[in-house]
Amino acid sequence: MVTLGERAGRRAGPAGAKRTPSVLLKYVMAVSGAIMLLYLIAHMIGNLKIFFGAESIDKYAHWLRTIGEPALPEETLLWIIRVVLALALVAHIASAVILTRRAHKARPVKYAYRPPVKGSYAARTMRWGGVIVFLFVVYHLLDLTTGTLNPHGVQGEVHANVVADFAPGRWYVTLFYALAVIAVGFHVRHGLWSGLQTFGRSSAATQHTLQAVALVVAVVLVVGFLSVPFAVLTGLVA
Q: Does 125 bind another protein (CB under 8 A)?
A: no
Q: What are phi and psi of 189, to 5 degrees?
A: -55, -45
Q: Of 40, 41, 85, 123, which lies in the binding site for another protein, with binding defined by CB under 8 A? A: 123
Contact (Cβ atoms closer than 8 angstroms) between residue 96 and residue 105:
no
Name which of 10 and 138 has its Cβ closer to another protein: 10
* Distance of closest approach, residue 5 Cβ to another protein, in angstroms: 9
* Distance of closest approach, residue 152 Cβ to another protein, in angstroms: 41
* Distance of closest approach, residue 85 Cβ to another protein, in angstroms: 23
Q: Of 113, 138, 169, 172, which lies in the binding site for another protein, with binding defined by CB under 8 A? A: 113
Q: Within 135-194, which residues bind another protein (CB under 8 A)?
A: 190, 193-194
Of 57, 186, 67, 64, nearest in space to 119 by CA? 186
Name which of 32 and 174 has its Cβ closer to another protein: 32
Residue 117 class from Cβ within 10 Å (0-12 exposed, 13-18 middle, 19+ buried)? exposed
Name which of 54 and 123 has its Cβ closer to another protein: 123
Peptide bond into 14 cis (omega under 30): no
Q: Does 22 bind another protein (CB under 8 A)?
A: yes
Collapsed DSSP state (helix, strand, coil) of residue 20 = coil
The terminus-to-terminus CA distance of the chain in angstroms comes to 70
Q: How far is CA 11 from CA 14, 22, 23, 104, 158, in A?
A: 9, 17, 19, 21, 58
Q: Does 121 bind another protein (CB under 8 A)?
A: no
Q: Does 63 bind another protein (CB under 8 A)?
A: no
Contact (Cβ atoms closer than 8 angstroms) between residue 238 and residue 232:
yes
The residues that touch another protein, with contacts defined as CB under 8 A, are 1-4, 6-8, 11-14, 16-19, 21-27, 99, 102-103, 105-115, 117-120, 123-124, 126, 190, 193-194, 197-204, 207
